[in-house]
């Protein structure tokens, strides 16, 4: 089902230091808890506890810790098409000068839903979500190319979304 998947990416990144350092590596139980919540973010703690073999209170503590640590977030994720965004595209960007500053500028744009620095023939990959073609055109041609340091861009307009997941650990 779902020709248009409910969509969107994940959590907003936190500062580099925090989560990386004390990322004590999750044990099997925490993984199991996460899997439960990936199936249903509102599943009661008691039900999760029964599934993973822990008391309700223990599950609650673990979940709270996972949230505090930024290991996971429990959120509503939507289908862009349903919410009124009809055009999406991936844009590869080539930069001259400081890549990170360009990345920061793109990150500040609300239409840029996903920004990654990459190795390869593009310095940056950016996913854009727009309301219509005009909007998309304006974002790519006027806004992104106007950012100082952007040498060139190449666009890949989405024709059909085939898969979107957030099922780690579940493997």
Provide the binding-site residues for DNA, judged by CB under 7 A.
Answer: 29, 44-47, 49, 54-58, 60-62, 65
- Distance, CA of 80 to CA of 78 (rounded, Å): 6
Q: Which is nearer to DNA, 62 or 87 (CB)?
A: 62
Q: What is the CA radius of gyration of the chain?
A: 19
List the single partner that 58 binds among DNA, its own copies, none, CB under 5 to 8 Å by kind: DNA
Question: Using CA of residue 149, residue 154, residue 157, residue 160, what is the dihedral sign?
Answer: negative
Shortest distance, CB of residue 54 to DNA, whole angstroms? Answer: 4
Distance CA 91, CA 128 (A): 7
CA distances 49 to 32, 97, 103, Å, are 10, 52, 42
26 binds its own copies (CB under 8 A): yes
- Kindly state the tokens that stand for 75: 């959120």
Minimum CB separation from DNA for residue 63, in Å? 8
Based on the shown chain and the rule CB under 8 A, indicate whether residue 103 belongs to the binding site for its own copies: yes
40 lies in the binding site for its own copies (CB under 8 A): yes
Nearer to its own copies, 13 or 97 (CB): 13
Residues 117-136 within binding reach of its own copies (CB under 8 A): 117-122, 125, 129
How many CB atoms sit inside 10 A of residue 37's CB? 18
């Amino acid at each position: 089902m779902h020709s248009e998947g409910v969509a969107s990416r994940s959590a907003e990144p936190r500062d580099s230091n925090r989560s990386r350092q004390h990322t004590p590596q999750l044990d099997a139980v925490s993984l199991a808890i996460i899997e439960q919540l990936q199936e249903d973010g509102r599943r009661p703690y008691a039900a999760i506890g029964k599934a993973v073999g822990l008391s309700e209170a223990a599950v609650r503590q673990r979940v709270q810790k996972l949230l505090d640590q930024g290991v996971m977030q429990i959120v509503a994720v939507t289908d862009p098409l349903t919410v009124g965004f009809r055009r999406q595209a991936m844009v590869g960007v080539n930069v001259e000068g400081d890549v990170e500053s360009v990345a920061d500028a793109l990150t500040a744009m609300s239409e840029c839903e996903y920004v990654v620095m990459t190795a390869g023939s593009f310095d940056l990959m950016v996913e854009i979500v727009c309301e219509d073609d005009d909007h998309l055109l304006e974002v790519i041609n006027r806004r992104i190319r106007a950012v100082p340091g952007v040498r060139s861009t190449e666009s890949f307009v989405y024709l059909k979304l085939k898969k979107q997941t957030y099922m780690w650990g579940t493997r």
